[in-house]
Amino acid sequence: MAGVIPQKLWGGRFTEDIDPDFHNLNASIHIDKRLYAEDIQGSIAYARVLCKAKLISQEEMQTIKTAFKQVQGEWENNKFIINHEDEDVHSANERRLSELIGDIAKKLHTGRSRNDQTVTDTKLWLRKSIDKLLFRLKKFIEVLIARAEEDIDVLMPGYTHMQRAQPIRWSQWLLSYAWYAKQDLERLLEVRKRVNILPLGSGAIAGNPFAIDRQFLAMELGFDEITENSMHTVGDRDFAAEFLFWSSLSSMHLSRFCEDLIIYSTQEFNFVQFADKYSTGSSLMPQKRNPDCMELIRGKTGTIFGKCIGFMVTLKGIPSTYNKDLQEDKESLFYTYDTLYQMFHIAEKALATLKVNRKSCERALTSDMLATDMAYYLVNKGISFRESHHLVGKAVALAESKGIPLLELSVQQLKTISEVFEESISCIWNFNSSVDQYKIAGGTSFEAVQQQMNSLRCWLRNYSFKE
């Protein structure tokens, strides 16, 4: 005859054992065991606040703390034994605590629900993971700046619509992604603020009926604030969705960076070459050097998008407060963090060892890319820009009709388009001069690029992140 199920945290009112197949669907221990340290950290802090509220004695609190340190050591040394009945990391830790200290362990859950416990654990883990990503982002920006400084004299075509547009510094291209990464870092700091709000003490839905000092809990666990509504608290996963969206946006920037480098590494461009340790070959074609480090980042970005969209669809269909659907947050968060951390780390190391083929970059510069400079020449002669643009368009068409580069048009030929052209037009056919005319803030001149690097370095000095 079936009896009361003693091993479940919720089993007192049930007289039948759970169906084994449903148990397997219900259990999340294979995923959320990763939160063992955060679960223990939150539980020790909760024991302290129970002691402060005189719900357990100082001795009982110390017993719980000491036992949990042993449990954490077991996890860290791969000696923790997960029982089949353990649904999740919370029940596993509480079960093991009971094995070590007996009935004292039963007092720990006073006023606490797995609803506020799991969201607290998740926020503790995510806060720590965000800090590690902030470190990786900073390192990536530092490498972008370092390479921009190292290769500041390299000129290359700038592209719009994947067509050669105007000459730029290679460093200007690099720093364009440093500014994307700067925005990503600033956004992540904002996400961290909303993660760092304490849920613990909200109970299952209605709050905590005991004299629990939630401000004390927040201080113990390093949270900046406490949540203000228990129903909102246990059902809120906006912080997870926001992190997943942030990850999608920042990985999209990284994917575009990789796409550029994949293109630049082709033999048709030959602007860059990846180090052997970040390249792969072909199982069939011996000559191949494939930029798989960049392709994998580009590919994994799509999977990160999927994790974000999938979790958003999960959230949209559930009613208010806690529902078991919310258990799906951790798989998405864990995958996304792990993958994105690797992506930034590999991008950083591949960039640091990247070879820039200066001569190939310079050979790709063609005189038609100075057509805008020709228009500026006419502007300086007093012709409106719209008229100058029209006249230079005619010059381009004339050069194309004769099958010669724009710079080989003679002054006499140019005068058939406008009498304003003079011998002084020859001064524009210099790529270094063209690039260095853009001295305004944000431009691609030597001084403007240096100013960007200085500005980024000054900004970075405000932040110190640890891996």
Overall size of the chain counted in residues: 467
Choose among 147, 257, 179: nearest CA to 441: 179
Distance from C-alpha of 328 to C-alpha of 195, rounded to nearest angstrom: 18
Q: How far is CA 84 from the centre of its chain?
A: 36
Q: Three-state SS across the chain?
A: CCCCCCCCCCHHHCCCCCCHHHHHHHCCHHHHHHHHHHHHHHHHHHHHHHHHCCCCCHHHHHHHHHHHHHHHHHHHCCCCCCCCCCCCHHHHHHHHHHHHHHHHHHHCCCCCCHHHHHHHHHHHHHHHHHHHHHHHHHHHHHHHHHHHHHCCCCEEEEEECCEEEEEEEHHHHHHHHHHHHHHHHHHHHHHHHHHCEECCCCCCCCCCCCCCCHHHHHHHHCCCEECCCHHHHHHCCHHHHHHHHHHHHHHHHHHHHHHHHHHHCCCCCCCEECCHHHCECCCCCCCCCECHHHHHHHHHHHHHHHHHHHHHHHHHCCCCCCCHHHHHHHHHHHHHHHHHHHHHHHHHHHHHCCEECHHHHHHCCCHHHHHHHHHHHHHCCCCCHHHHHHHHHHHHHHHHHHCCCHHHCCHHHHHCCCCCCCHHHHHHCCHHHHHHCCCCCCCCCHHHHHHHHHHHHHHHCCCCCCC
Catalytic residues: 161, 282
Q: Residue 378: what residue type?
A: L
